[in-house]
Structures are given as structure tokens and as C-alpha cells.
Amino acid sequence: MFSTSTTSMFDIFLSHSYLDKEEVWGLYFDLKRKGYNVYVDWIVDPHLDRSNVTKESAQLVKTRMKNSKSLLLAVSYNASVSKWMPWELGFVDGNTDKCAIVPVSEGDVNRASFKGVEYLALYPFVTKDSLLGTENLIIVESPSTYVSMYDWIKSNAKPTFKSRSIF
């Protein structure tokens, strides 16, 4: 665990429920292994106290979101009880328009499971490129409309129609 300067830039702000700490820890290290600079509050800023939110701590989280190129929303059954995730999603979406859903639940979380939070279906989702048999992550809007996560973050590329369907 470490603390970083408030001017540090991140590729990904990983929004999640703290109840999914174990899954988020694994996702964080997988993304880091792939070369992404990832912000997770309790890893990068362990001094933040979830039980004592102040204007200063909320401002630090806002700064971290502003200094992130994208947001991945770690969707799980626990995410539905998070008070912060909708705020983080709205803030980053309003500032970067670069948000995607990444399922972290052991169960099958899919677009049909967004009852009560149907707005989540508006966002693309992250999956592995299974056709190439690689560990590459892709941002998917539909089976034929997608882009590599690397290009989405680093080159600001948008998902585009491809003749090869990923599903």
C-alpha cells in the first residue's frame, strides 16, 4: 500500500464496493500486470477513512477521478448497496464520457441483472478477447462493436463495428 501525489495521473479509476475487496484486489493486480496505472482508494490512499468522510477526503476522491482517463465500475451483487459508486460513475461520465462495466461477482452478473439500476445497460462492458485466445481486454458495446481496452484508454478510440463477432 502506498500514497501518491495528488497530481498523479491514472489510466483507470476502479469504482467498487468495499465488500468486494478480495475480487477488486485481484482485478487491480491483473490490470497493473497489463500495464495500466490503476486507482483504488484503499490501496493508493490508505489514509482515507470510510467511516469519517470529510469535505477534504471527498475532494481528494474528486481529484483522483479528474486525474483518471477512465472509470471501470466493478459490478457485483454488493455494488447495489454502495452509496459512492453511482456518484463516482456520474462524476467521471460527466467529465470523460469514458466509463465501462466490469463484472467481479462470482455469480453471473449481466445486463439482465441491472434491475433497479437499468442505466448501467447504457455503458459498454469489459471482457477478455476469447477468440484470439489471449488475455487482451476489450470494451464491448455489442457482439460486433468493440475496441481493445488499451486503445480505448491510451488512444481515445471508440468501439467500432467489426466483421468478426466476439460472441
In angstroms, the Cα distances linking 157 to 6, 30, 137, 141 are 27, 22, 14, 13
Looking at per-residue confidence, does 70 or 1 come out higher? 70
Q: Are strands 68-75 and 99-103 parallel, antiparallel or unpaired?
A: parallel
Contact (Cβ atoms closer than 8 angstroms) between residue 25 and residue 113: no
- Give residue-wise pLDDT tens across range 91-135: 999 988 899 999 887 655 555 556 566 788 889 999 887 665 567
59-68, 117-126, 139-148, 156-165, range with greatest mean pLDDT: 59-68
| pTM for this entry | 0.89
What structural domains and CATH numbers belong to the chain?
10-123 (3.40.50.10140), 131-167 (no CATH)
Q: Which letter does DSSP use for residue 167 in this model?
A: -
What is the pLDDT at residue 111? Answer: 52
